[in-house]
A = this chain, B = another copy of it.
Amino acid sequence: MQFVIKKEHLLKSIQAVINAISSRTVIPILTGMKIEAKNNHIILTGSNSDISIQCRIPKMIDNEEIISNIEEGSIVLPVPHFPEIIRKLPENKVKVTTNNELITKIESGNANFILNGQNSNEYPKLPLQQNNVDFQIKKKDLKQLIKQTVFAVSTMETRPILTGVQVSLNKNELTFTATDSHRLALKKIMIDEANVEELSYVIPGKSLLELDKIIDNNEDLINVTMLDNQVLFHHEGFYFLSRLLTGNYPETDRLIPTTSETKINVNKKQLMETIERAALLADREQNNVIRLDTLQNNKIKISSHSPEIGEVKEEITIQSLEGEELNISFSARYILDSLRTIEDEQIEIDFTGAMKPFIIKVPNDPSILQLILPIRTF
């Protein structure tokens, strides 16, 4: 194998692929990065038990030659050494050459590296052929779906299915749902075109966080395809494959109250800052519980206390307050996690009594819904 490549392009792909490589894998070959030289492109692959990432760098980009002197072949090189070497090369041009003994030479300027590679035949085959596409979605929409739901997945392995985000497509409506059974986050987006009527599967939250790190926040469409118990995200030379979680995802629809007894409209930033202050003295051992009381004249009071340390209370005037008087306690962390993902300035919260879940919505935007269970404090 041999090729000469511009470092900046190689590095960009390495930085995406490296996210799939873990030193803790039980399969030794997966601690390395697979490099393949093909006639017209270079392919980099990384993989672990959850995700695989592949980047294909074309020989030409916008009429500029990125790769030259290609002799086909493949090798698996050690991580983090190979990425670190490329990152620190003295010049933008780098030559990579492999001999029959898997010895790989990396040359740039006066720097000469020799790395002991592994045989790429031992590297698992990944199902990255893309025969059909279930649906396409804009990268920025996919990032928003992830951001507004993934924080609510469970981090406990007691119910593994809850560590994932449920993805369901119904006609052109794509819904992401996450819940850890104490809170729920739901976001819908209409997509332009789908090749399937409906689908539903659960992607590990960690996979989506990795995907979010790598994809750009732009209008480009990314292809999404389910392939026997895996899901493939694909755009141009970029492939991201994640395993799916098996098991029945809870039916979350019936958890969501349809009526409300108390409804408030409030400025998101003001509410967040007030809750952040209250959280300072919320009892950390009791899930950071804070209390919200409705008052007269469109006011609410946010308070909390920590037995040994002290207490805090703050009254704020809100935009509107309708319905029953309310005294409710809930986790400051849960509501802050939720509010941080909302981009709009005004939010609505619908309560159905102190013991029932409440809902955070954006007025006039039914695509987003956050649900939080209160905490009993007596």
Per-position binary interface string of chain A over residues 98-120, scored 1 when its CB falls under 8 Å from any chain B CB and 0 otherwise: 00000010000111111110000
Which of A89, A90, A276, A310 is most buried by chain B, counting CB atoms within 10 A of its CB?
Answer: A310
For A273, give the chain B residue with the smallest CB separation.
B90
Let me know if A173 is at the binding interface, CB within 8 A. Answer: no
Min CB–CB distance A275 → chain B (angstroms): 11
Is the Cβ of A280 less than 8 Å from the Cβ of B110?
A: no
Min CB–CB distance A245 → chain B (angstroms): 36
Let me know if A324 is at the binding interface, CB within 8 A. Answer: no
Min CB–CB distance A78 → chain B (angstroms): 6
For A90, give the chain B residue with the smallest CB separation.
B273
Residues of B within 8 A of A325 (CB): none
Residues of B within 8 A of A276 (CB): 88
Is the Cβ of A309 less than 8 Å from the Cβ of B90?
A: no
Is the Cβ of A277 less than 8 Å from the Cβ of B111?
A: yes
Is the Cβ of A115 less than 8 Å from the Cβ of B310?
A: yes
Let me know if A193 is at the binding interface, CB within 8 A. Answer: no
Given A90-B273, A90-B277, A277-B90: A311 in contact with B114 (beta carbons within 8 A): yes
Min CB–CB distance A58 → chain B (angstroms): 28
For A81, give the chain B residue with the smallest CB separation.
B309
Let me know if A355 is at the binding interface, CB within 8 A. Answer: no
Is the Cβ of B85 less than 8 Å from the Cβ of A277?
A: yes
Report the separation of the CA atoms of residues A88 and B282 in the bound assembly, to the nearest whole angstrom: 14
For A77, give the chain B residue with the smallest CB separation.
B310
Residues of B within 8 A of A78 (CB): 309-310
Residues of B within 8 A of A315 (CB): 110
The count of residues in chain A whose C-beta lies closer than 8 Å to any C-beta of chain B is 31
Report the separation of the CA atoms of residues A114 and B308 in the bound assembly, to the nearest whole angstrom: 11
For A112, give the chain B residue with the smallest CB separation.
B313
Per-position binary interface string of chain A over residues 292-331, scored 1 when its CB falls under 8 Å from any chain B CB and 0 otherwise: 0000000000000000111111111000000000000000
Q: Which of A99-148 contact B (CB under 8 A)?
A: 104, 109-116
Residues of B within 8 A of A311 (CB): 113-114
Let me know if A220 is at the binding interface, CB within 8 A. Answer: no
Residues of B within 8 A of A104 (CB): 310
Is the Cβ of A81 less than 8 Å from the Cβ of B115?
A: no
Report the separation of the CA atoms of residues A193 and B84 in the bound assembly, to the nearest whole angstrom: 49
Report the separation of the CA atoms of residues A312 and B78 in the bound assembly, to the nearest whole angstrom: 14
Given A116-B308, A308-B116: A277 in contact with B88 (beta carbons within 8 A): yes
The 5 closest A-B pairs by CB, nearest first: A115-B310, A111-B314, A113-B312, A114-B310, A114-B311
Given contacts A90-B277, A110-B316, 20 further A-B contacts (CB under 8 A): A78-B309, A78-B310, A81-B280, A81-B310, A85-B312, A88-B273, A88-B280, A89-B277, A90-B273, A109-B314, A110-B315, A111-B312, A112-B312, A113-B277, A113-B280, A113-B281, A113-B310, A114-B310, A114-B312, A115-B310
Binding site for B on A (CB under 8 A): 78, 81, 84-85, 88-90, 104, 109-116, 273-274, 276-277, 280-281, 308-316
